[in-house]
Structure 1
Amino acid sequence: MENFRLFVGVAVSNDVIRAMTPILSQLSASLPFKRWTHPADLHVTLHFLGDVAVNRVENLYEAMARIAQTASPFRLQLGELATFGQPDAPRVLWCKVSEPAPAAAASIAASQEDPLASLHDALATPLASAGFALEARPFRAHVTLARNGNAACGPAAIAAAWSEATAQSGAVAPLAWTAERVTVFRTHIGRRPGYERLAEFPLRGAL
């Protein structure tokens, strides 16, 4: 039985992908990470599912369609860079992602949880109940940009490279978009772009 390597996430919009393409090019010229994310692969992972038998994919789709209709579209914005791993040899370079300030203030005023965290939590129980193995580590919303850095990829170098890249890109609008659907991605190892959007499920009220 063939397996698909799958994860569930929120794709970055085409407009933000276009804006990030020259930024990623500039960053990769300044920071010697070994592997950079293709712009078309930019996304926020909600749940990594690992290898899933092909005959179980339809079960996944049924669960996703139900869960997606419990959440409404929400705004997201890319922020500053951060890393996982040792600061002097980071394993992963990633971009912070959160609600834009006005939307975040509205959520706080309404005593609402962060929408990405809420969507992550809403997906967890139904997916686990359907027999899909989920990672136990805490959820941290981020967009991965690169992997496998070295001593030249320290915090000061990253901050300087991000500042220069965003300035040179000429982007005047915030790197923001409306998340209107949740996506099941398939990973193709060794291919660029490496993620195939197998199915997309609109959130409640999305067109």
Structure 2
Amino acid sequence: MRAFIGIGLPDSWRHTLNCCAEQVRAVCPEWRDARWVPPENLHVTLAFLGEIAPQTVDPIMTALHSTLSSHQPFTLTLKEPVVPVPHGRRVRMLWATLDDSSGKCEQIARAVGEAAASYGALQETRTFKPHITLARARSPLVYAAPGNGGFDQCITPCLTSDAAMSVALVTLYSSTLTPQGARYAILGNAPLAGR
């Protein structure tokens, strides 16, 4: 089964990001046909594990509990709700970026990735950038710079004062690809220290 380790979002963030997505689709017609992540699937990926055997779920969960017992809960802040990726003119995705100025999210991403790798999961080689994927373009799109019909028009109506969330739990998810999009199921939760 395909699996990943991630952080679920509070309903207030799902609502805010869904509002941003609706605004982008209204203002930027080229993004209407993109593959948008449904609000219930929005999350922060800490480690994509690839295909894992079902019998490795329990050992991975045990490793996560052990690994996370030495990490304290932390706060993530919504930095930019709509960011084109990669930066430049040929955009493939839209992200919401997160502020991890403490570096704790990156530390946990590295730790859980290493813990799962001992059970055959993929090990990430790219630099970790905490984000939430909002949409994937079916083919690269030309980015309209702010002020020219860009995403700056979409963001202001959606922003709320609830832009920070406390992270005290990490989740192991399965991901099943269907013609309607990915379906996620929770395989287990692991609390951070003190929870």
Question: Deviation of residue 27 (structure 1)?
Answer: 1.6
The match for 1:6 is 3
Asked if 1:139 is matched to 2:144, the reply is: no
The match for 1:95 is 96
Question: Deviation of residue 72 (structure 1)?
Answer: 1.1
User: CA 1:11–1:159 in 2, change beyond 3 Å: closer, same or farther?
Assistant: farther
Asked if 1:25 is matched to 2:22, the reply is: yes
* Equivalent-residue separation in structure 1 for 2:78 and 2:88 (angstroms): 21
- 1:79-118 alignment to 2 at 5 Å? 79-80=79-80, 81-85=82-86, 87-99=88-100, 104=101, 107=102, 114-118=103-107
| 1:175 aligns with one of 136, 141, 163 | 163
Contact 1:24–1:39, Cα closer than 8 Å, also in 2: no
Q: Which amino acid aligns with 2:120?
A: G
Q: Which amino acid aligns with 1:196?
A: A
The match for 1:111 is none
* Equivalent-residue separation in structure 1 for 2:149 and 2:170 (angstroms): 31
Asked if 1:154 is matched to 2:144, the reply is: yes
Question: Deviation of residue 155 (structure 1)?
Answer: 3.6
Mean CA deviation greater in 90-99 or 28-37: 28-37
Q: CA RMSD in A?
A: 2.4
Contact 1:84–1:90, Cα closer than 8 Å, also in 2: yes
The match for 1:127 is 116
Question: Deviation of residue 127 (structure 1)?
Answer: 2.1
Question: Deviation of residue 61 (structure 1)?
Answer: 1.2
Asked if 1:68 is matched to 2:68, the reply is: yes
Asked if 1:198 is matched to 2:187, the reply is: yes
Question: Deviation of residue 86 (structure 1)?
Answer: 6.4
Question: Deviation of residue 93 (structure 1)?
Answer: 1.1
Q: Which amino acid aligns with 1:198?
A: L
TM-score, normalisation: structure 2 = 0.84
* Equivalent-residue separation in structure 2 for 1:60 and 1:116 (angstroms): 19
Question: Deviation of residue 146 (structure 1)?
Answer: 0.9
The match for 1:186 is 174
User: CA 1:141–1:121 in 2, change beyond 3 Å: closer, same or farther?
Assistant: same
Q: Which amino acid aligns with 2:184?
A: Y
* Equivalent-residue separation in structure 2 for 1:83 and 1:154 (angstroms): 10
Question: Deviation of residue 123 (structure 1)?
Answer: 1.8
Deviations 1:50-93 (A, max 9, x none): 11111211111111111121211111111123333362221111
* Equivalent-residue separation in structure 1 for 2:146 and 2:160 (angstroms): 24
The match for 2:77 is 77
More strand by share: 2
* Equivalent-residue separation in structure 1 for 2:111 and 2:157 (angstroms): 39
The match for 1:110 is none
Percent identical among aligned pairs is: 25
Mean CA deviation greater in 122-131 or 182-191: 122-131
More helix by share: 1
- SS at structure 2 position matched to 1:134: coil
User: CA 1:130–1:21 in 2, change beyond 3 Å: closer, same or farther?
Assistant: same
